[in-house]
Amino acid sequence: MDQVGFYLTHARTARRNTMYVSIGAGAIAGALVEWLGGKFEPALIACVIATCAVETTRALSYVEPEWADKRTLAALPIRRRLVWSAVSAAALLIIRELAIPHREALAFERKLRVASANPADPKNIGEAKLVLAGARAARVPIEPLILEETGEKFVKASAQYPAAWDVALESLTYKSFVSNRMPALPHLRHYDVQFHEDVQFYEVTPTGLETPDFSSWGAVPRSEAAQYNLIGHDWNMDRDTGVAGLFVTGGAQILDAMQLKNVVFQGVEIHYAGGRVLLTNVLFVNCKFKIQSAPRSRNLAFAILSPGPSTTFSGE
């Protein structure tokens, strides 16, 4: 019996140790390919190649033991070799499917950086949109500073290359998704937006779009109170106190000509055409953005992409 044949049929201990090494090598190879930006198929191929390389190298380099030791090994029963193979395959799949946010985030972040290196390239624009949509679908947290860095490159490029604006909007959508991981909001009570003297008045102008639902929390001095009015209008100026914040859910809101302070938008479709707008401590959570590319729009995008959870922006 030649050395390879003896290794495959009787060298149980050597085969078992080699299996452990091959599983580790395959897992490392697959993870490395994904970290470098590869998709599942190339990562799987790298995993298989590394595993096979270790197994083959060990089989070819195995040296038969002395005759007495060989006789002892040959006498051992050949136990469930197929079971060990199945365990190896299962281990590789489990390692592949383990949700390791840090590793996956590194892969997404690297792809974004590669795409943003040339934000005018149509291929990079398409790749960046896929990366951001994929990270959002997989609920993978991208480092805020990296999102700001890469998003701003596409925002700047959109001034000359309009297609890059699509990536800018996708970056805003992702930032809005990430904002959902903030601490729990204060307890909310129903807030009635009506023309009554006993309630605060906030300006909800007819836009032809679905009107959001409003709630509020807290009570603070008027200087610290929430605002939701057209610029230059404050219907609550004569009051000593006001609500601490407004919680706006669903529907749609046009930002043009609005002055907003201490407002949380959740699941709201945000429209903006580049007009005057004043935002102070405004938070966007799981919102959709329909923003036209314009100088003020790009500045607003920079403000939303900043690493902090809320947005403060003066576009006058």
Please report, rounded to a whole number, the percentage of residues in the chain having pLDDT higher than 70. 70
Q: Break the chain into its structural domains and give their ranges.
A: 3-98, 102-180, 189-315
Q: Cα 11–12–13 angle (5° rounding)?
A: 100
Residue 237: DSSP 8-state: T
What average pLDDT score do residues 155-175 get?
94
pLDDT the model gives residue 118: 93
Tokens of 28: 């490392």
Contact 34, 47 (CB under 8 A): no
Q: b vs e for 89-112, b when ≥16 Cβ sit within 10 Å of the residue's Cβ?
A: eebbeebbeeeeeeebbbbbbbbb
CA–CA gap between residue 114 and residue 108 (Å, rounded): 10
Q: The tokens 């007819």 sit on which residue?
A: 206
Determine the 3-state secondary structure of 272 from DSSP. strand
Higher local confidence (pLDDT), 142 or 80 = 142
Residues 6+ apart with CB under 8 A from 106: 35
What average pLDDT score do residues 193-204 get?
50
- Convert the pLDDT of each residue in 50-64 to its tens digit: 888 877 887 777 666
CA–CA gap between residue 311 and residue 289 (Å, rounded): 14
Q: Please provide the size of the chain in residues.
A: 316
Residues 6+ apart with CB under 8 A from 81: 15
Higher local confidence (pLDDT), 107 or 305 = 305
